[in-house]
Amino acid sequence: MKLSSPLANSLLFALLVLIMAGSAFGAGYLFRAHQSPSADFPLLGEAYQIVQNHGLKELPASPALQYGMIRGMLQAYDDPFTVFVEPVQHELESNALQGSFGGIGVELSTDAEGYVVLFPFPSGTAIEAGVQDGDRLLQVDDTPIPPGMPVSDVQSAIRGPVGETVALLIARPPDYQTQIIKIKRREVALPTVTRRLDLSDARVGILNINLIAATTASELQDAVYDLQSKGASYFVLDLRDNPGGLLDAGVDVARLFLTEGEIITRQYRGQEAETYAVDQPGPLAELPLVVVVNHGCASAAEIIAGALQARGRARLVGAPTFGKDSIQLVFTLSDQSSLHITAAQWWVPGLQYEISANGLQPDIQVEPPANADAGDTTLQAAVQAVLELAP
């Protein structure tokens, strides 16, 4: 999970500790220490010379030696969210954050019987090929998709090289007649917000945010208006496994649902604390809402959930969140590796407990089912909770 400043061009999506930042000084120093030991760190210079002159094995070539030195420095720094990322991994994570991959443009979910079901994006080859909301996925090419198969494994089966064709065997409700749909993969821009009507009650709109980006607030408004046009009156905001994103964007999302009050306070080292508050009632402030969270919900996603809980705006359903109340900055070094260092801390005014201790605590705690065939029991509990808000 990560929070980032506008200076950062990339955030790390795959890491549960997204958004962290650092200083190029450390890497620059270590490079100089490798070339000619610095007088500022005489022990490092001595150790380097001893290993170089007397070691049986040769020292690793640059940049491996420098990378090892940087990691040693960060280990001594002793902050779990301050990390060094090598160039290849940094590029992969940046690409993942940009959200482009070879796919067909669908969101995957599971129904009450554990089947994987498809919800095509408004623009994508899946909807163009005829995939409809709620289609059960039974097979991808030669790979069967049985009930209970992990969604991540299904995603891997569907994705592949741009331009190649994938064959899906689907079963369409209500009679679940099967058919094969062939779809050509193309580069898919993954939105930060996806939406659908609940399969069990079409009055409920499900809003899923997978990353907190600059466009998330506007995407969320559009998603709500679209679902309202289809008959939804009650909404579930699903933040599970959302690692975070931009702090300012998280504040903007919280503002959509609030009429007044403080959202978060943040403080950088040596600076005065700064509080973000609601300027005017948000356009979604009257929307019947519950929020779904779990341990994978972190950072900017926790800002949204924590602010809505502290202001009494929405109940949290699910499991305790990750508990990351720090802010990181991301700096790309000269070889396209990156250094990420914790730079500030944030907290939610009015919240009656510390997030960093055990994460956000749900108002309605739901344990994940032992049997995958039980379906998404947490989402089912959230739908039930939001329907209780009916007049």
> Which residues belong to the active site?
299, 324
Residue 160's identity, in one-letter code, is G
Closest CA to 292 of 109, 133, 135: 109
Beta bridge partners of 212: 245
Tokens 């990378």 belong to 67
Q: How far apart are the first and last CA of the chain?
A: 37
Residue 358: which residues within 8 A CB-CB, separation 6 or more? 320, 323
Torsion region of 373: left, alpha or beta (phi above 0 gives left; psi -120 to 50 gives alpha): alpha
Query: Measured between alpha carbons, how far is residue 345 from residues 21, 87, 327, 374 in Å?
Result: 13, 27, 6, 39
Beta bridge partners of 176: none
- Give the SS3 label for residue 220: helix
Neighbours of 229 (CB within 10 A): 8
Q: Quick check: 237 and 195 in contact, CB under 8 A?
A: no
Structure tokens at 132: 């409809």
Closest CA to 205 of 292, 311, 138, 106: 292
What ranges in the chain are assigned the alpha helix state H? Answer: 24-35, 42-54, 64-77, 87-98, 125-129, 151-158, 216-229, 247-257, 300-310, 355-358, 377-387
Structure tokens at 202: 């079409």
Q: At what angle do helices 247-257 and 300-310 cross, to 10 degrees?
A: 30
Beta bridge partners of 21: none
What ranges in 170-287 are assigned the alpha helix state H? Answer: 216-229, 247-257
